[in-house]
Copies of this chain bind each other. A is one copy, B any other.
């Protein structure tokens, strides 16, 4: 076992170790997501997650410092997927109005079609993550991701002639409207009004775009 013939062995080993680590973390997160989907927020105990991942509860602590950290990681990943979904939706869309609509709809549909991501988001919003888990250190990048996912809306609005402040107001309004409709749909209460969510979202976007254009 000479140094010869072994190109950067320590680094290689470290890399491999890191890769394995990453993989295991991912497996645990996927298990968590499954438990989350199947049994909801309350049923997602550390033990349940560990079991689903094929681990003992104690073993989880080698990969995550706490239960809340798992939620945080889940949420981070969720928002990354959201960003990716939006990016994919507006790739190649040149017209600003179309970009605005595409962004908003991608956001809406991402959550409408994947209720567990929505639940995760609301969990964050309602302060479900305890102080120890949701430090400002974590909170800020999460917020940044959220804003980034919808940023094309402001950009598009600006491209359509809106000043910076109104552009941000448009962004906030779209976000609020989408969130409100998603909540209504997710809880089944939209039935109370005899509507479905997506057409209402489309209507709202029609109005926003019309005003920008008119």
Contact = CB atoms under 8 A, between A and B. Distances in A.
Contacts of A147: 192-193
Contacts of A42: 128, 130, 132
B195 A143 contact: no
30 contacts: A40-B126, A40-B128, A40-B130, A42-B128, A42-B132, A119-B129, A125-B183, A125-B187, A128-B187, A128-B188, A129-B187, A143-B189, A146-B189, A147-B192, A168-B193, A168-B194, A168-B195, A169-B193, A169-B199, A172-B193, A172-B195, A173-B177, A173-B200, A175-B184, A176-B180, A176-B184, A179-B183, A180-B181, A183-B183, A207-B207
Interface of A: 40-42, 119, 122, 125-130, 132, 143, 146-147, 165, 168-169, 171-173, 175-181, 183-184, 186-190, 192-195, 199-200, 203-204, 207, 211
